[in-house]
Amino acid sequence: MLKEPRTPETADAPEASADAPAGPAPARGAWSALRPLVLRLHFYAGLLIAPLLLVAAVSGLLYALSFQAEKIVYRQELEVPVGDSVLPLDRQVEAARSAHPDGTVTAVWPAPQEGATTRVLMKSPQVEEGTSLAVFVDPYTAQVRGALPSYGSSGALPLRTWLSELHRDLHLGEPGRVYSELAASWMWVVALGGLALWLGRRRTSKRALFLPEGGPRSRRRTLSWHGSVGLWAVTGLLALSVTGLTWSTYAGENIGALKDRLGGTTPTVSATLGGAPAAADGHEGHGTEHHPTAPSGGPDIGVDKALEAARAVGVEGRVAVTLPTEGKGYVVKETDTEYPVHLDSVAIDPATGEVLDVLRFADYPLLAKLTRFGIDAHMGVLLGLPNQLALAALGLALVLLVVWGYRLWWLRRPGRPVPPGAWRKVPVTMLLPLLAVTALVGWFVPLLGLSLLAFLVIDAGRSLLARRGA
């Protein structure tokens, strides 16, 4: 019996490969019309965006491991022998001031557990603008153990900060953020397209959907690993893509505006001594940290009594104490992001110790809570070590998916998955809504829209040249 000749379309499609299991031909319908378009988009988008995804995956993997690496690299500053009793915080702050008289104390992070140091954060000429100088003080002896630059409300030290900036902008500043936004903008598109192709593939058993199969070094085996690992990782990749876009340059602005319109603005405790409302805060843990100026003088109850007043209203555990500034009081915030989260905050009058305002995390708008959970999970601080291990596993999975994707492309050469013009096979009743949704998403996620438009122009040009050559 003669075999049908293998055209570029049938030779390169996964379902039509020679080693694919036999099965009944699928009925033509919506998916059969859309599949060539999805396959072409997934193939070319993955091929072109994969280098950006690979950089993001490797840098993200290193960042996820940096939490535990910090404990080893900065052991001298972070750990001390457990003593008999903890000294007052005011005395620990004075020790930090004496060691760094040119700095202005802005906040104090009491030792979160036994054997840990207290962090006294300073605005200092020793560090660049937007960065605090963290002075590490032994809470049992008031001995200064060292000082390091500290970034953001998460208190990232130099190692984690360097890896975070590598992941965010490749140390290129604002121009470098285009890379990470492009990667985040396309990752969910490539992931969902791959999921649709994998679920729509013919197979003889359900086991092949979740577990890899195929002979050694065969294209079918590579495709099986690519599809099954992608299936397991797709939920996490979608979450990373969405949360990564929330603080991107262009899409992040649209997301922030939408969140504000939906009433999801993150509230802040009011520390104004005159009772004026506080301004809404942005994404906590990202961007430039605010450094208060030195108090103007007058009565001050001190850090210890401010902490006592906070504990009296239930703000306790792992906390950060922001010192008063001109017209502002003490602010004591819980910083325990592990589940269950403890993120209540309270403002204290520095003259009397009176509670000015209390903000409970339970009172946050639902959208603000979800935003906080998503960002903390992306940063690896929501659940501590399990969160960091999950991020590392996702980073490794993405690296493997990119490598397998390129291998599939190499094994497929010189063919192509679907010839140009796949969109013309989509019925108008499906094509018009699809175009409308694509235009809306492209406007909301600008780098995705612009790069997709460039891809379509290039693809249309190649198709035109091919037809003229024929």
pLDDT in tens, 23-32: 443 445 778 8
Q: What is the pLDDT of residue 414?
A: 65
Give the H or E element holding residue 388.
helix 385-412
DSSP string computed for 46-106: HHHHHHHHHHHHHHHHHHHHHHHHHHHHTHHHHB----SSPPPHHHHHHHHHHH-TTSEEE
- Say which residue, 424 or 381, is predicted with more confidence: 381
Q: What is the pLDDT of residues 296-337, one digit of tens each?
A: 567 899 999 999 999 999 999 999 999 999 999 999 999 998
Distance, in Å, from the CA atom of 93 to the CA atom of 424, rounded to the nearest integer, reads 70
Report d(CA 276, CA 329) in Å as an integer.
12
Run of H or E including 258:
helix 251-261
pLDDT > 70? residue 231? yes
DSSP 71-88: HHHTHHHHB----SSPPP
pLDDT of residue 15: 39
What are the counts of helices (DSSP H) followed by strands (DSSP E) for the chain?
14, 8
> What confidence score (pLDDT) does residue 297 get?
60
Taking only the tens place, the pLDDT of each residue in 394-428 is 999 999 999 999 998 888 776 666 666 677 778 88
Pick the more confident residue, 279 or 174.
174
- Say if residues 171 and 307 touch (Cβ distance below 8 Å): no
Query: What DSSP string describes 153-194?
Result: TTTB-HHHHHHHHHHHHTTS-GGGHHHHHHHHHHHHHHHHHH
157 close to 150: Cβ distance less than 8 angstroms: yes
Cα Rg of the chain, angstroms: 27
* pLDDT at 20 > cutoff 50: no
The pLDDT, as a whole number, for residue 419 is: 65
CA pair distance 143, 311, nearest whole angstrom: 26
pLDDT digits (tens, 9 = 90+) for 88-119: 999 999 999 999 999 999 999 999 999 999 99
pLDDT of residue 421: 66
**Helix 158-169 with 30-73: angle, nearest 10 deg:** 160
**Residue pair 271/278 in contact by the 8 Å Cβ criterion:** yes
Which pTM value belongs to this model? 0.84
Please count the residues of the chain.
470
Summarize pLDDT for 49-65 with one digit per residue, the tens. Answer: 999 999 999 999 999 99
Is residue 151 classed as helix, strand or coil in its secondary structure?
A: strand
pLDDT bin (cut points 50, 70, 90) of residue 10 is very low
Q: What is the C-alpha separation between 44 and 381, in angstroms, rounded?
A: 35
Report the distance separating Cα 157 and Cα 67, nearest Å: 10
Supply the pLDDT for residue 118: 97
Sign of the C-alpha dihedral, residues 69, 123, 265, 187?
Answer: negative
Contact 163, 56 (CB under 8 A): no
Interhelix angle 446-469/30-73, rounded to 10 degrees, is: 130
Q: Is 184 exposed, middle or buried (0-12, 13-18, 19+ CB in 10 A)?
A: buried
- Token couple for 443: 């406007």
As given in the structure block, the two tokens for residue 22 are: 């036999």
Q: Which segment of 10-14, 234-238, 348-352, 376-380 scores lowest on mean pLDDT? A: 10-14
Q: Give the burial class of 113: count Cβ atoms within 10 A of its Cβ; 0-12 exposed, 13-18 middle, 19 or more buried.
A: exposed
Q: Quick check: 166 pLDDT over 90?
A: yes
User: In the chain, how long is the greatest CA-to-CA distance?
Assistant: 98
* Whether pLDDT at 167 is above 90: yes
Q: Mean pLDDT, to the nearest integer, of 137-150?
A: 96
